[in-house]
Amino acid sequence: MPDPRQTAESLLGAIDWQSPTTGYCRCPGEAAHTSPGGPKDCRVSIDGAPTLFCFHHSCASAVETVNRQLRQRLAHSPWTLILPGGKVLQSGQVLQSTIKHQASTPSSPSTILLESIAREVTRRRIEILDEFRWPYAKIMEESPLQTAHRSPQEQFALWLKLWPPHSIVWIGDVFHSGKPEHSSHFRSVADWSQLGPVMGNFTCGCAFRPGTYSRSDDSIETRHFLIVESDTLTRDEVGAVFLYLKRRLHYRLHCIIDTAGKSLHGWFTPPPSRLQPGLKKALTALGCDPKLFTPSQPVRIPGAHREGRLQRLIWLRE
């Protein structure tokens, strides 16, 4: 029975194994890198769905080709690994779920990956903010749907169309939650369409279970959006983060909201839960607020006013 690590090395060359299933290697697309690299830029994992990952994006085509080859080779040769302590890992299984106590240890593959993501994004932060520069005026100019001329009611209505029609959405002020009398702040999209932005300045990126009156993670039915914002980047700078997520990482951008304060909020389709810790590390390293990874975290709605200034859409997908 072949050792999957030998199979990976036959394709990638020498691998510096950090765990029984995860290690660092030379990127097969290294010649296409546009910035200096390091020994931990490219990582391969053979458990679960075998995956090669490189922090440089200019090599994406080469990495994708090798990923297909790696998965084909390992899929054609089922394997079994005997791990420290006598545990058994078979092809298709994920190490973290097989050795549960490793998930919280400093040497676990998940910890290694998260730390590597934070280091790499920190190293490339200035480069990313420069390469993907997307200032406020350009964001407005490039909006697929122009919104600047829209009334507050129209802006609110356009934002509501981003939600699935039967979603129960919370809208209110931060403390409109937790008591039965707050149930009126949890309404369907159709109800909010009739009422307009009159019951508060905030919402969150998730739909709630019918009948709830608590804006808590336990009451969530579905998370529809990940909202990205920064309290440290300027409104011109944070646009680079939005464009990096949209263009380089291919997250779908739904809208950008000017909060009528210092910040902009970018509304994205959330990644699968398994990818969220890595994305959270990366965005935090770029200067974004990690609190917004909490699904029930309140954020500003368009169409409401904040101390006399309109919270408004500046970019909206078609």
Q: How far apart are CA 62 and CA 53, in angstroms?
A: 11
Enter the DSSP assignment of 268: E
- Planar angle of CA 198, 199, 204, nearest 5 degrees: 115
Share of the chain above pLDDT 70, in %: 92
Residues 74, 112, single domain; the answer is: yes
Question: Of 203, 202, 197, whose CA–CA distance to 303 is shortest?
Answer: 197
Q: How many domains does the chain have?
A: 2
Residue predicted with more confidence, 74 or 229: 229
One domain for residues 85 and 141 = no
CA separation, residue 47 to residues 62, 114, 133, 143, 192 (Å): 21, 17, 37, 41, 46
For residues 41 and 180, the model is more confident at 180
**Which pLDDT score is estimated for 190?**
94
The overall average pLDDT reported for the chain is 88
The C-alpha atoms of residue 28 and residue 72 are separated, in whole angstroms, by 17
If asked whether residues 146 and 97 sit together in one domain, one would say no
Q: 309 with 281, same domain? A: yes
Q: Are residues 223 and 180 in the same domain?
A: yes
Confidence of residue 15 (pLDDT cuts 50, 70, 90): very high
pLDDT of 191 higher than 50:
yes
Dihedral angle sign, alpha carbons of residues 158, 160, 164, 166 = negative
The predicted structure's pLDDT at residue 233: 92
- Of 104-108, 176-180, 235-239, 269-273, the poorest mean pLDDT is in 104-108
Same domain, 308 and 166: yes
Q: Which residues of 290-315 are buried (b: 16+ CB within 10 A; e: fewer)?
A: eebbebbbbbbbbbbeeeeeebbbbb
Confidence of residue 40 (pLDDT cuts 50, 70, 90): confident
* Structural domain of 260: 136-316
For the chain, how long is the longest CA-to-CA vector?
Answer: 70
242 with 147, same domain? yes
* Token reading at 306: 């904040």
Q: What is the mean pLDDT of residues 274-290?
A: 89
Domain boundary among 81, 105, 131: 131
For residues 107 and 203, state if they share a domain: no
The DSSP call for residue 172 is B
Q: What share of the chain is helix, strand, coil (3-state, %, to 5)?
A: 40, 20, 40
Mean pLDDT of 241-245: 93
d(CA 244, CA 241): 5
Looking at the structure, tell me whether residues 111 and 161 fall in a common domain.
no
Query: DSSP assignment of 36-83, as one string?
Result: ---TTSEEEE-SSS-EEEES-STTHHHHHHHHHHHHHHHHTS--EEEP
- DSSP string for 300-315: EPTT-EETTEE-EEEE
CA-to-CA dists, residue 225 to 6, 105, 148, 295, 303, angstroms: 41, 31, 23, 8, 18
For the stretch 47-105, pLDDT in tens is 877 888 887 767 888 988 998 899 888 888 788 888 888 888 888 777 754 333 333 34
Residue that is last in its domain, among 131, 158, 185 = 131
Task: Report the b/e string of 30-39 with b at 16+ CB within 10 A.
Answer: eebbeeebee
Q: How far apart are CA 122 and CA 243, in angstroms?
A: 17
Phi then psi for residue 273, to 5 deg, are -55, -35
Whether 262 and 146 map to the same domain: the answer is yes
Same-domain check for residues 79 and 152: no
Same domain membership, residue 61 and residue 19: yes
- Last residue in a domain, options 103, 131, 159: 131
Q: Can you give the pTM of this predicted structure?
A: 0.68
C-alpha triplet 108, 114, 118: angle, nearest 5°: 145
Nearest to residue 38, comparing CAs of 100, 96, 124, 104?
A: 124
Kindly list the distances between the CA atom of residue 260 and the CA atoms of 54, 264, 299, 312, 317, in Å, as whole numbers in the listed order. Answer: 38, 8, 12, 8, 20
